[in-house]
Amino acid sequence: PIKEVTDAEKENGAHCLILPHPTQGHINPILQFAKRLTHKRIKITLALTKFTLKTTTGFSGGSISTRSISDGFDEGGRAHANSSEEYQARFQQVGRETLAELLQDLAGSGRPVDCVVYDPFIPWVLDVAKGFGLLAAAFFTQSCALKLPLSGGEVVVPGLPPMKPEEMPSFIHDHGSYPGTFQMLLNQFRNVDKADWILINTFDKLEQEVLEWMSRFWRVKAIGPTIPSMYLDKRLQDDKEYGLNMFNPMTNTCMNWLDNQEPKSVIYASFGSLAQLTARQTKELAYALTTSNKPFLWVVRSTEESKLPEDFSKSRKGLVVTWAPQLEVLSHMAVGCFVTHCGWNSTLEGLSLGVPLVAMPQWTDQSTNAKLVTDVWGVGVRARADCNGIVSREEIVSCVKSVMESEDGKRIGSNAVKWKGIAREALDLGGSSDKNIEEFVTEIMLKRY
């Protein structure tokens, strides 16, 4: 068990201000990291946008204090901006001002901030922090492999086999479709050399070669997977108190349903918090799940529900929900495979909880994550799209059967078990990520005087 932090240590510990990008896939990992810091003598203040604070139901930061800054869209958030570019520009302008006010306020609070931990999707935070003379750590929520240079169309990626264009992040071969997102991804590196640390949600053995390569340029620390202790190393007692959607009523519906299924029999399908499948793709997935002849738990966000085919009857074998407690689900013994879009969080969660994956990447980093899943870690298969960009029902069924039933599935299953053990070791007392977090804390304490 973890050594409890004494009151004296808490009072003398450094103070970190944590600033996530205001989307679920970015808030979750940085919050879980912050929680680990609180167990290592650090006081945490989490700054969320006013809109995020107002609209996130069931958010709990446990002993972490929350403050707000503004993105300039306090009423409607990102959805009220006309474009990604407009949102980013306004967030930068209003965010800078309101962050400076917050830092000023905390400076006079008797417990000034020592270090700002920020998401490089909002790189201006680093400029503000440095303007106040503070330490700063960039917290990357995506894999290391995404931070590599390209030359002449070929990817120079330590730790990965050669990649076909469709296996590279979509913003490289298709950046014209998402100019705002592409710019935001490039901007992450605009000033990152000024950061005192680069923290990455990965672990040493998972991306060893690329981490070693990056360490030549930056002070890099792998601190992941940022999965709550209760699912892996089981050392922190207060996990239930932290997170988004902690008290979602869907939790009981999903868990009661899973309790009634056979071990390793269920297909869990979910595409994260942002990906939008076309109606055609949703239909193929719907038919694949119903014809697979296996029980399935499928998350279809309420904004996507209208794409379900009209004749799609909620089969007796399946449960369709608008949200699922993903970590609880993946930890449940009934789950036999995870059909995923390969968002970095979902990828890490599936791998760390030992669930074989069927990768159906949609955009951004997801195709590269899928490449790691299939060709490097060997914990899943990729469902390939046809020439129209659609993954057919037959392809999905065949991939599910391959991971759940075939000889190759046994190899994938044993790799999944192996990686689960390695992920747990990384976070356990003295493991590589635990040591890196401890070093980070010690370095803040040394540098602040």
What does the binding site for ligand UDX look like in residue numbers (CB under 6 A)?
24-26, 28, 141-142, 270, 272-275, 299, 323-327, 343-346, 349, 364-366
Tokens matching residue 2: 């973890």
> What 3-state DSSP class applies to 403?
helix
**Location of structure tokens 């997801």:** 366
Contact 120, 142 (CB under 8 A): no
User: In this structure, are residues 223 and 433 in contact, taking their beta carbons and an 8 Å threshold?
Assistant: yes
Cα angle: 254, vertex 244, 185; to 5 degrees: 115
Q: Which is nearer to ligand UDX, 275 or 355 (CB)?
A: 275
Distances (CA, A) of 188 to 4, 139, 146, 270, 347: 36, 10, 11, 28, 22
Q: How far is the CB of 141 from ligand UDX (least distance, A)?
A: 6
What value, to the nearest 5°, has the Cα angle with vertex 428 and ends 266 and 229?
50
Q: CA-CA distance, 197 to 25, in Å (whole number)? A: 21
- Residue 360 CB, shortest distance to ligand UDX, in Å, is 12
Distance of closest approach, residue 185 Cβ to ligand UDX, in angstroms: 11
Q: How far is the CB of 340 from ligand UDX (least distance, A)?
A: 7
Which C-beta is closer to ligand UDX: that of 38 or that of 326? 326
The catalytic site residues sit at 26, 119
Packing angle of the helix pair 24-38, 432-448 (nearest 10 deg)? 70
Virtual torsion, Cα 15, 30, 178, 194, nearest 10 deg:
40
Nearer to ligand UDX, 26 or 41 (CB): 26
DSSP track, 203-268 = -TTTSHHHHHHHHTTS-EEE------GGGTT---S-GGGEESSTT-THHHHHHHHHHTS-TT-EEE
Based on CB atoms, which residue is closest to ligand UDX, 324 or 444?
324
Compute the least distance from the CB of residue 366 to ligand UDX, in Å: 5
DSSP letter assigned to residue 361: -
Q: How many other β-carbons are positioned within 10 Å of the β-carbon of residue 54?
A: 12
Closest distance to ligand UDX from the beta carbon of 23 (Å)? 6
236 neighbors 3 (Cβ within 8 angstroms)? no
The pairing of beta strand 15-19 with beta strand 318-321: unpaired
Reported for 370-377, long-range contacts at CB under 8 A and 24+ positions apart, including other chains, are 370/167, 370/342, 371/160, 371/161, 371/163, 371/167, 372/143, 372/145, 372/160, 372/347, 373/342, 373/347, 375/160, 375/161, 376/159, 376/160, 376/161, 377/206, 377/351, 377/415, 377/419
How far are the Cα atoms of 123, 147, 159, 434 from residue 150, in angstroms, in the given order?
22, 10, 15, 32
120 or 343, CB closer to ligand UDX?
Answer: 343
Q: Where are the beta strands (DSSP E) in 57-144?
A: 60-61, 65-69, 115-118, 135-140
